[in-house]
Amino acid sequence: MRRRRMIAGAGAALFGAPAVAAESTRIPAELPDGTREVVHFVNPSDKRRMLCLTDRPPNYATPVNVFTDAVTPNDRFYVRYHLTGVPMSVYDMDGWSLSITGDAVERPVQMRLSDLLDMPSNEVLAVCQSAGNRRGFVDPHVAGVQWTDGGMGCAVWRGPALRDVLKAAKVKPEALEVWLGGADKPAVEGTPLFRRSIPMEKALDGDTIVAIAMNNAPLPVWNGYPARLVVPGWVGTYWMKHLTRIEVTSIPLTNYWMETAYRVPAGMFPVERPFVSQATETTVPVTELVVNSLIADPLEGGEVDRSGFNIRGVAWDRGSGINRVEISLDGGHSWQDALLDRPLAPYAYRRFILATGAMRPGTYRLMCRATSRTGERQAERLKINPGGYHDNVPRAISVVAA
């Protein structure tokens, strides 16, 4: 009893310690040629010190040191858009409403924000991660936004369950997919609207919510104000922001975003529940997150204390939970177990820490790799796919012990 309390106390102290790492001013060194020069820090609306990958549309990555915390603050949460016609402030969303129509509803309805506020709400602590997170490191180079490690974040999302929202429109038994649309628009005519769909099964999961709050505050404008879909365990592309349009249909959504983008070769990545209505013989949509982890402290190129230092970071997966995180100090030749913080929630980050002993002065190549409860471990070799999706290969960062 006593011993247990002591261990718990020690753990809390370790994991509860304020971030000692200084705010990073370093642009990730490993970016491909030509990319590094254009990345810079910006303070866009509602945000501070984000890595600017593109300005039009806004694509801002979270600096790695932010992931010493299990919850990502709203003003450091990444921003990802496909189209340039995005709301510039919450006032652009005045008069917002959400329509629920489609051939598989009996009674089309339109909801205002006050309707959502009046409904019972759920709270989910979940990681939102872009399928293309880390694409910037993929070698050979692939086209698309050159994300580093910061195309992800974990927040407390709150709002009514999508299934309760759909109930108002009376879903028919033949419902197959829920089609999603947001308020952002292409600047050039002819560019397809960004629309995605999810299968009925995921739509009716009680953890799939129409979030109207993020970390106990309204959503920042560029994270989807006033309402966005939260699809825990699935990549960010389904988490429709500024959600204005829902269609419940008996047929699969066909458009560029579903049929061409966001697809991977069939069978390449493990999936618990396949998105059957969008699968073809050769490719499937990228859906469930793969197991992954990241060292947030120390940072690439950093100097560490040779008398011993802490290696800290987070691990996550599709919701089965993290079972183990291993750390290598020698570029992957040998591994040792890190200490895991208590699990916060199935879809959340799980923090890890390893205290090194005294080390000889010199350069060390640090790596981490996570294993999930279902026994999946991060890939050893990159599974090459045209979109550069799902990169979960442990990557070494170099630090100098002095």
Ligand X SMILES: Nc1nc2c(c(=O)[nH]1)N[C@H]1C(S)=C(S)[C@@H](COP(=O)(O)O)O[C@H]1N2
Which residues bind to Mo ion, rule: CB under 5 A?
Answer: 80, 130, 236-237
The answer to whether 46 contacts ligand X (rule: CB under 6 A) is no
User: Closer CB to ligand X, residue 67 or residue 78?
Assistant: 78
> Judged by CB under 6 A, which stretch of 92-100, 240-248, 249-257, 347-355 contacts ligand X?
240-248
Range list of β-strands (E), 160-242: 177-182, 195-199, 209-211, 213-214, 228-230
Cβ of residue 238: shortest distance to ligand X, in angstroms?
A: 7
Cβ of residue 288: shortest distance to Mo ion, in angstroms?
A: 14
> Token pair of 378, please?
């991060």
Query: Tokens 């490191």 belong to which residue?
Result: 137
Residue 239 binding result from Mo ion, ligand X, none, given CB thresholds of 5 to 8 Å by partner type: ligand X
Cβ of residue 236: shortest distance to Mo ion, in angstroms?
A: 4
In the three-class reduction of DSSP (H, G, I as helix; E, B as strand; rest coil), residue 207 is classed as: coil
Instruction: Note whether 155 and 214 are within 8 A (CB).
Output: yes
User: Closer CB to ligand X, residue 129 or residue 323?
Assistant: 129
The answer to whether 96 contacts ligand X (rule: CB under 6 A) is no
Interface residue with ligand X among 24, 148, 208, 223 (CB under 6 A) is 223
> Judged by CB under 6 A, which stretch of 26-34, 114-122, 238-246, 368-376 contacts ligand X?
238-246
Interface residue with ligand X among 47, 76, 80, 369 (CB under 6 A) is 80
The answer to whether 147 contacts ligand X (rule: CB under 6 A) is no
Instruction: Note whether 15 and 351 are within 8 A (CB).
Output: yes
Interface residue with ligand X among 237, 292, 371, 378 (CB under 6 A) is 237
Residue 318 binding result from Mo ion, ligand X, none, given CB thresholds of 5 to 8 Å by partner type: none
Cβ of residue 227: shortest distance to ligand X, in angstroms?
A: 11
Binding pattern to ligand X, positions 106-135, x when CB under 6 A? ----------------------x-x-----
Alpha carbon 336 to chain centroid distance? Answer: 27
Query: What string of DSSP letters covers 39-87?
Result: -EEE--TT--SEEEEETTTTEEEPPGGGGGSSS--GGG--EE-SSSB--
Number of residues that bind ligand X (CB under 6 A): 19
Residue 309 binding result from Mo ion, ligand X, none, given CB thresholds of 5 to 8 Å by partner type: none
User: Closer CB to Mo ion, residue 67 or residue 309?
Assistant: 67
User: Closer CB to ligand X, residue 327 or residue 348?
Assistant: 348
User: Closer CB to ligand X, residue 236 or residue 388?
Assistant: 236
Distances (CA, A) of 117 to 122, 165, 180: 11, 11, 20
Nearest to 298 by CA among 242, 360, 364: 364
User: Closer CB to Mo ion, residue 59 or residue 121?
Assistant: 59
Distances (CA, A) of 37 to 26, 29, 32, 110, 235: 12, 10, 10, 47, 28
Residue 234 binding result from ligand X, Mo ion, none, given CB thresholds of 5 to 8 Å by partner type: none
Alpha carbons within 13 angstroms on the beta-carbon side of residue 104 total: 19
The answer to whether 389 contacts ligand X (rule: CB under 6 A) is no
In the three-class reduction of DSSP (H, G, I as helix; E, B as strand; rest coil), residue 92 is classed as: helix
The torsion angles phi and psi of 144, rounded to 5 degrees, stand at 125, 175
The torsion angles phi and psi of 287, rounded to 5 degrees, stand at -125, -85
The answer to whether 240 contacts ligand X (rule: CB under 6 A) is yes
Residue 82 binding result from Mo ion, ligand X, none, given CB thresholds of 5 to 8 Å by partner type: ligand X
The torsion angles phi and psi of 329, rounded to 5 degrees, stand at -105, -5
Report the distance separating Cα 212 and Cα 219, nearest Å: 6
Chain residues binding ligand X by CB under 6 A are 77-82, 128, 130, 182, 184, 194, 223-224, 236-237, 239-242
